[in-house]
Chain A
Amino acid sequence: MPVTLTINGTSRDIDLPPEVPLLWALRDGLGMTGTKFGCGVAACGACTVLIGGQAVRSCQVPLSDVSGAVTTIEGLGQPDNLAPLQEAWIKHQVAQCGYCQSGQIMQAAALLAETPEPTDQDIDAAMQGNLCRCGTYPRIRAAIHDAALMMKAG
């Protein structure tokens, strides 16, 4: 019995057992590789997606537990139709290796949805679960502040 989920506004059938985590259903089942595998134990944040608007670690959510609409980095914006966060990421030249950045951006999206004008302390609190081994944290912080301004300006 395939599992049916709404991903980025589209209904998708996934032919994998219900205990398989959402991360692997996206990557191996659907070939949606924007969401990354980093640690498998919710210690790095690379697999962060939104479920019903909440940021979750998709490596920890079995398909059977996905309770709402899923938004991945591919659903946030595309190269020819960028979300403000992605524009800010490009403006501040945030990425180095780039591997963690899908998760960082999705976590930041959840933060800005909840807190449209975050302080540095808000950013620290929201982003501390997302690792970056390249050390891009200062530019991530600057990009989040800038995205908040862009979104406020509309």
Chain B
Amino acid sequence: MANWKKITRRSFLVFGAAVAGGAAFGAYKVAEVPENPLTPSADAIPLNPWVIINGDGITVIAPRAEMGQGISTTLAALVAEELDVDWQQVRVLHGPPAQAYYNAGFVDRMSNEPDFFLSQQPKSHNAILAAVPKIFSLQITGGSTGAIGGFVQMRLAGAGAREALKAAAAKRLGVAPETLKTEGGKVIGEKTFTYAELAAEAVDMVPADVELRDPSTWRFVGKAMPRLDMVAKSTGTETFGIDIWLPGMKFATVRMNPKRGGAMLGFDPGPALDMPGVDQVIGLGNGIAVIASNTWTAMQAAALVTVDWGPADYPADTAKIMAQIETAFRTEPDSRLRDDGDVEADLAKGEVIEAEYRIPFLAHASMEPWNATAWLKDDGSVEVWAGNQAPIMTRDAVAAALRIDADRVTLHTPVMGGGFGGRTDPVPAVLAARVAAALPGTPVKVTWSREEDMTQDYYRPAAIARITGRLEGGKPTALWGRTAAPSAARNAMARLIGFAPPGPDRGTVEGGFDQPYGLPHYRYDGHIADLSVPLGFWRSVGNSMNAFFLESFIDEMAHAAGADPLAFRLELMKDTHAPSAALLETVRDMSGWDSLKRPGFGRGVAFCYSFGTPVAQVLEVQDTEAGIKLTRAWIACDPGLAMDPSIIEAQMTGAMVYGLSAAVQGAINFADQQVVEQNYWDYDPLRMHTTPSFQVKILQNNGTFGHIGGVGEPGTPPAAPALANALYDLTGTRARELPLNKTFTFAV
């Protein structure tokens, strides 16, 4: 490939600028050992920021938040692997906001080079890049980085604790630590000590260096471990944010300006205050809150408040918004992260294939609506419970909103009833704190109605893509993809940290520019649309957009060439990235690809390499009297080192269901500057009877040993194109717009 040098230089400049623009820092801070944010008590002695020794086992402090992706179990398994405890002795909790819990895995998401290329390189990250997550205290769960960031960190935490406990026992026995062994939460020598007996003495004996165990000895990592949250989640005893219950608490809800970003010109509580059980109606500047004796009464009362909403500054409806996005094609590209060969010269040679694709805004629609609980104490400090993906940022935002110091904010991060990227913004915590400030001394839980959750979300961008390609003798020679969209990253970062990182916006083109297709001439451009609709990170981010564009177009090229679409992809990939090609062969064989083609059925294939993990999917559809049914799906993925096959299987399946739900019927539309869709009845995901059956195969060929790809997101991007391609196979109609129920009738 011709342009790696140029690309590398560009990515470095990007981060030079981002670092310089964001904060002043010194090299000393990078080298600092993180301060341990945990304080000891009689039955809980922390040996480092990640390991607490209890009387009856250990508590692992997970630096990443649990949203259902299973990360708390995997991180605990990494600690247990080195610490020699039985699985029944392991508990896991989320840590407080603290620099110690920065996400080292984010380094893997801070490059503008294609992932498939990076995975083949030795791990020699630029020192400045590697320090970025730590400097910025990126205690963030996202980007499918949890296992990557924890892989070394959590094992070191376990090994360090083990060696400290051995040192304490050795001192008691007057022997060398090497003569002792550890097993089942005990140090065993001439005498046997439980970890709990040794913990207090071990605190000061944590060694500077420890050696990690050989992977051949692993007992937990790589195995399907029973999830540590499974019993609680099967018995209704898990405490989600929405379940925080404190004596004497009040219940509230909010109603914010549906014209997003607009001001509130005035409001009249009207009959709301007369409802039995209503305590207060509060103005919040751009919305109102109602505090009541129960959440239902608060929601009923909020609907009775008369509000004069100021306008937003984006176009009035979906058609005008799409027209504005379209104008971005007339601007200079923001990025050209792939430019192999000479696309323009090749396309000039003759007949080209062209297509335009359109996709809508999407909401996250997690099952647990946004909520947070806050309690303003008599001394002016505040305690907040809020499911969130970024505790330090959330804590600081609460402090800023109440004009108090950050150390006056105690933030708890309960497990989340889904996230999918939709709990990055600190809005629930901040608004709950502001509502609680109106009722000092009383804890207040603020719950968003489903309608507020849907219409106040930060959406996946709508986008338009234009792709041109050329075939010669049935072989593809050139592809020029152009995506026009508002930038989710710039929109969100400007809101979250006050500035939008400069440089090319990877999110607009990822899933398009970075795929292992060995076309001789391959260019991919991003055009940023100027649009102020509030945007956020939606499971797999830009990959969810560009995989639909690119994989639909590759399919169109295959059909134009009269080729089998799976074989066509394989041919393009086999010399570029063997592990990806192997996945196409795997789904071909798993699905019995050739036998899927029969009357009344359609088959579609799609591929995407994202977050370090290539994924290939085949989907079968069937024409029935009730409409088109999604019948069977096959997924092959290669995350490199597979940390927990059961969790990976669940994530791959769930991520494809998430992508298919959006592809079939997901769309957020605007009318009069307000989101039209309100609830699950008009933003309806797949259900039990509309979900296909699944088979998943996990390969482990990708990268050098220790390469760990993400698993939470990579299953989403191929879902929409696999379905669109299957529908073309079934009907001969090529849908170039999502959702697909605009073009096809599905069985519901």
Contacts and interface: CB of A to CB of B under 8 A. Distances in A.
Interface of A: 16-17, 20-21, 23-25, 27-29, 31, 33-41, 43-44, 46, 72-74, 77-79, 82, 86, 89-90, 93-102, 105, 123-125, 127-141
B685 A95 contact: no
Contacts of A17: 276-277, 297
19 contacts: A24-B295, A33-B239, A33-B243, A36-B240, A36-B368, A36-B417, A38-B367, A41-B450, A95-B227, A97-B416, A98-B232, A98-B417, A99-B68, A127-B687, A127-B689, A129-B687, A130-B688, A131-B680, A133-B658
Nearest to A140: B688
Q: Chain B: interface secondary structure?
A: loop
Closest 10 CB pairs of A and B: A34-B236, A135-B657, A97-B68, A99-B417, A98-B233, A73-B236, A96-B68, A135-B654, A124-B689, A33-B243
Given A131-B680, A133-B367, A33 B245 contact: yes
Given A41-B679, A138-B694, A97 B234 contact: no
A29 B294 contact: yes
Given A82-B235, A90-B226, A138 B693 contact: yes
B702 interface: no
B230 interface: yes
A121 to B, nearest CB: 9
B666 to A, nearest CB: 11
A98 B296 contact: no
A97 B681 contact: no
Interface of B: 67-70, 224, 226-227, 229-240, 242-243, 245, 251, 276-277, 293-297, 299, 365-369, 415-420, 447, 449-450, 646, 650-651, 653-658, 661, 679-681, 684-691, 693-694
Contact of A136 (B237, B276, B297, B654): B654
A37 B447 contact: yes
B367 A44 contact: yes
Most A CB contacts (10 A, CB to CB) among B231, B417, B418, B693 go to B417
A24 B276 CA distance: 15
A16 B296 CA distance: 11
Contacts of B238: 98
B652 to A, nearest CB: 10
B59 to A, nearest CB: 18
Given A133-B365, A135-B691, A37 B295 contact: yes
A73 B234 CA distance: 9
Nearest to B450: A39
Contacts of B70: 96
Nearest to B695: A138
A106 to B, nearest CB: 9
Contacts of A34: 235-237
Contacts of A73: 235-236
A89 B234 contact: yes
B653 A37 contact: no
B643 to A, nearest CB: 15
Given A33-B243, A96-B68, A135 B367 contact: no
Nearest to A121: B689
Nearest to A138: B694
A123 B650 CA distance: 20
B650 A96 contact: yes
Given A24-B294, A34-B236, A89-B234, A98 B68 contact: yes
A14 to B, nearest CB: 10
Given A100-B367, A138-B691, A16 B685 contact: no
Most B CB contacts (10 A, CB to CB) among A41, A46, A98, A130 go to A98
Given A134-B654, A135-B658, A36 B235 contact: no
B294 A28 contact: yes
B295 A43 contact: no
A41 B646 CA distance: 34
Most A CB contacts (10 A, CB to CB) among B680, B681, B686 go to B680
A58 to B, nearest CB: 11
Contacts of A74: 235-237
A99 B679 contact: no
B231 A125 contact: no
B230 A133 contact: no
Given A86-B234, A96-B68, A134-B418, 13 more contacts: A21-B296, A38-B369, A72-B236, A74-B236, A82-B231, A90-B230, A93-B646, A96-B70, A98-B229, A98-B233, A100-B367, A124-B688, A135-B661
Contacts of B224: 93
A66 to B, nearest CB: 15
A41 B681 CA distance: 9
Contacts of A86: 234-235
Contacts of A98: 68, 229, 232-234, 238, 415, 417
B201 to A, nearest CB: 34
A17 B243 CA distance: 22
Contact of A137 (B68, B299, B691): B691
A140 B687 CA distance: 12
A139 B688 CA distance: 10
Contact of B366 (A133, A137, A141): A133
Contacts of A129: 687
B295 to A, nearest CB: 6
A99 B240 contact: yes
B367 A36 contact: yes
A140 B230 CA distance: 13
A45 to B, nearest CB: 9
B418 A133 contact: yes
A11 to B, nearest CB: 21
B69 A96 contact: yes
Nearest to A132: B367
Nearest to A130: B688
Contacts of A35: 236
Most A CB contacts (10 A, CB to CB) among B70, B236, B656, B661 go to B236
A113 B242 CA distance: 30
A61 B686 CA distance: 26
B450 A40 contact: yes
A27 B650 CA distance: 30
Nearest to B451: A40
Contacts of A90: 226, 230-231, 234
A16 B295 CA distance: 11
A72 B237 CA distance: 12
Nearest to A85: B234
Contacts of B297: 17, 20
A79 B297 CA distance: 33
A125 B690 CA distance: 11
Contacts of A44: 367, 680
A79 B653 contact: no
A139 B650 contact: yes
Given A24-B296, A38-B450, A97 B367 contact: yes
A104 to B, nearest CB: 9
A127 B229 contact: no
A41 to B, nearest CB: 6
A135 B68 contact: no
Contacts of B646: 93
Contacts of A130: 687-688
A135 B234 contact: no
A18 to B, nearest CB: 11
A137 B365 CA distance: 17
Contacts of A20: 294, 296-297
Contacts of B685: 131, 133
Nearest to B449: A40
A109 to B, nearest CB: 12
Contacts of A28: 251, 293-296
